[in-house]
C-alpha cells in the first residue's frame, strides 16, 4: 500500500513539475530533439511581463502610425505598442517565405536549368528561376543541340498572367525590383529588354549560325504541362549557387526575384500566384494568423498584412529550428552587410543586430535579433504612414540596446 502511494505521489510530482522542467529546457535550448519538437509543435509558449521603462520609451516616442513588439531572451513579451494592428510589412515578408524555403531544402541544394531531348530532334529548355542565369549559361546548355535536318526547340515557360503576384502595382513593374518572375529569366530580368522574346531570338541566332542547313523551329511550351517531360533525356544542365547563398541574397540584399523564385520552387506554385501554403505552414506552428494576409513572398505586394506581434512570435519560434544559425546568417547585419551595412558603422551596435528592413512608399519595417551581452532581444518595428521616419525606428533600436534590463 505504501509503495503504491509512493508511486502515485511520484507520478503526480512529475506531472506537476514537468511543464516547468520542459519550459526550462526549452528556454535554455538544452535538448536539441525537444527544441525540434517544439519548433514543429502547433503552439506557442510565451509569457507577458510589464516593463515600465520599455513601455515608457515606446509611448513617449511613437505616434499611432507605429507598431512595435519586443521579446527578451527568455521568450517573454516585455513591451508592445499597437502590436495587433495589421500593417504592410514590405520586405519583412521575406522573413517568413525564406524560412519556408529553408524548411523545404538542404543548404547545399541548388536550382537547376536543363536541356531535355526526345528522339533525335526535339529539345526542351527548362528552368527553375535561377536568379544568376545568363546568356553564357544558355550558350553552354544549347551547345549540346546536335545537327539534324529538322530541329524543334521548345522554351518551357510559365503563362505571362503569373509573371507578377497580386498587389504589385503598374509602377513597380517598370523597375528592376518589380521585374517579372519567370523560370528562365536572364539575370533576374533586371534588364527590361531581356524578355522571353529576346531569349527566343538569342537561341534562334545561335542555332541558325551553327546549323546552316537545318530547318529550325522554336516554340514556347507551357510549363503547366512540364510533367509530360519527366521521361525525356536530360542532356545538359547548369546549377545555381547553393541554397544558403540564394537565401542570403533574398534576405541580406532583399532581392525580390529570388524570394519569389525560391518560394515558387519550394511550394510548387510556378503556375499560380497562391501563397496559402506559406500561411498554412506558419499556422501549423501555432502562430496567430488573425490580422495576417499573404499575397507574395517578397513583400512588394500592397495586399500583405501582418502585425509586429506575429513577427516577433515567428522570430522567437525560429530560434528552435535546427537551421536557426543558417537562417540568422542570411539576414542583414548592422554596420556590416546587406541593407543595414551603412547603419551604425564602427559603433557599439555594429555586428549586434541581425535583421531585415522593409521599404515601400508609406512603409518602413525593421525586425530581427538584437544581441546584448550575447543574448538576443527580438524586435519588430513597423510604420505605415504618409510621413515615414526611418531615423526614429533606428533610434528606437539604439535606445533599446542601451536600455536597462527589464526587472
Distances (CA, A) of 210 to 147, 176, 220: 8, 33, 21
349 alpha carbon, distance to own chain's centre: 25
pLDDT of the residue at 17 = 52
Distances (CA, A) of 37 to 29, 33, 41, 43: 12, 6, 6, 11
Over residues 288-325, the pLDDT tens digits come to: 999 999 999 999 999 999 999 999 999 999 999 999 99
End-to-end CA distance of the chain: 48
Rounded Cα distance between 174 and 39, Å, is: 40
pLDDT of the residue at 14 = 44
pLDDT of the residue at 79 = 97
pLDDT of the residue at 229 = 82
Across 49-195, the runs of DSSP E, i.e. the strands, are 66-71, 76-81, 112-118, 122-126, 150-157
DSSP run (H or E) holding 375 = strand 375-384
Tens digits of pLDDT across the chain (407 residues):
665 566 555 444 444 455 555 555 566 566 778 888 899 999 898 899 999 999 999 999 999 999 999 999 989 999 999 999 999 999 999 999 999 999 999 999 999 999 999 988 999 999 999 999 999 999 999 999 999 999 999 999 999 999 999 999 999 999 999 999 999 999 998 776 668 899 999 999 999 999 999 999 999 999 988 778 878 999 999 999 999 999 999 999 999 999 999 999 999 999 999 999 999 999 999 999 999 999 999 999 999 999 999 999 999 999 999 999 999 999 999 999 999 999 999 999 999 999 999 999 999 999 999 999 999 999 999 999 999 999 999 999 999 999 988 76
pLDDT of the residue at 406 = 79
Domain annotation for the chain: domains and CATH numbers: 2-30 (no CATH), 44-107+245-402 (3.40.710.10), 112-240 (3.50.80)
CB 382 within 8 Å of CB 92: yes
pLDDT of the residue at 36 = 87
pLDDT of the residue at 9 = 57
Residue 222, SS3? strand
pLDDT of the residue at 220 = 94
All cell numbers assigned to 356: 531585415
Amino acid at each position: 500500500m505504501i509503495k503504491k502511494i509512493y508511486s502515485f505521489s511520484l507520478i503526480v510530482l512529475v506531472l506537476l513539475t514537468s511543464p516547468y522542467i520542459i519550459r526550462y529546457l526549452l528556454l535554455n535550448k538544452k535538448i536539441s530533439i525537444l527544441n525540434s519538437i517544439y519548433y514543429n509543435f502547433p503552439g506557442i509558449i510565451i509569457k507577458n511581463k510589464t516593463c515600465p521603462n520599455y513601455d515608457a520609451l515606446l509611448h513617449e516616442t511613437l505616434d499611432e502610425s507605429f507598431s512595435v513588439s519586443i521579446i527578451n531572451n527568455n521568450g517573454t513579451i516585455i513591451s508592445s505598442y499597437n502590436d495587433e494592428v495589421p500593417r504592410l510589412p514590405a520586405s519583412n515578408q521575406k522573413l517568413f517565405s525564406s524560412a519556408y524555403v529553408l524548411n523545404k531544402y538542404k543548404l547545399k541544394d541548388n536550382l537547376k536549368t536543363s536541356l531535355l531531348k526526345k528522339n533525335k530532334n526535339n529539345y526542351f529548355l527548362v528552368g527553375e528561376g535561377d536568379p544568376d542565369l545568363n546568356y553564357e549559361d544558355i550558350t553552354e546548355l544549347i551547345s549540346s543541340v546536335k545537327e539534324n535536318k529538322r530541329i524543334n526547340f521548345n522554351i518551357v515557360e510559365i503563362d505571362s498572367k503569373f509573371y507578377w503576384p497580386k498587389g504589385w502595382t503598374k509602377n513597380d513593374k517598370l523597375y528592376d525590383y518589380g521585374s517579372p518572375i519567370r523560370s528562365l529569366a536572364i539575370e533576374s530580368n533586371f534588364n527590361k529588354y531581356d524578355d522571353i522574346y529576346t531569349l527566343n531570338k538569342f537561341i534562334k541566332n545561335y542555332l541558325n549560325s551553327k546549323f546552316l542547313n537545318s530547318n529550325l523551329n522554336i516554340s514556347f511550351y507551357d510549363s503547366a504541362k512540364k510533367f509530360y517531360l519527366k521521361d525525356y533525356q536530360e542532356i545538359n544542365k547548369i546549377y545555381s549557387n547553393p541554397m544558403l547563398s540564394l537565401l542570403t541574397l533574398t534576405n541580406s540584399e532583399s532581392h525580390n526575384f529570388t524570394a519569389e523564385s525560391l518560394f515558387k520552387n519550394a511550394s510548387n506554385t510556378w503556375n499560380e500566384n497562391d501563397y496559402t501554403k506559406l500561411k498554412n505552414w506558419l499556422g501549423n506552428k501555432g502562430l496567430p494568423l488573425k490580422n495576417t494576409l499573404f499575397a507574395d513572398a517578397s513583400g512588394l505586394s500592397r495586399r500583405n498584412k501582418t502585425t509586429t506581434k506575429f513577427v516577433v512570435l515567428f522570430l522567437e519560434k525560429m530560434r528552435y529550428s535546427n537551421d536557426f544559425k543558417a537562417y540568422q546568417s542570411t539576414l542583414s547585419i548592422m554596420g556590416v552587410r546587406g541593407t543595414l551595412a551603412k547603419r551604425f558603422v564602427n559603433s557599439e551596435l555594429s555586428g549586434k543586430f541581425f535583421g531585415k528592413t522593409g521599404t515601400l512608399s508609406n512603409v518602413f519595417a525593421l525586425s530581427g535579433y538584437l544581441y546584448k551581452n550575447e543574448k538576443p532581444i527580438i524586435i519588430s518595428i513597423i510604420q505605415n504612414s504618409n510621413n515615414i521616419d526611418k531615423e526614429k525606428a533606428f533610434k528606437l533600436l539604439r535606445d533599446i540596446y542601451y536600455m536597462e534590463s527589464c526587472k
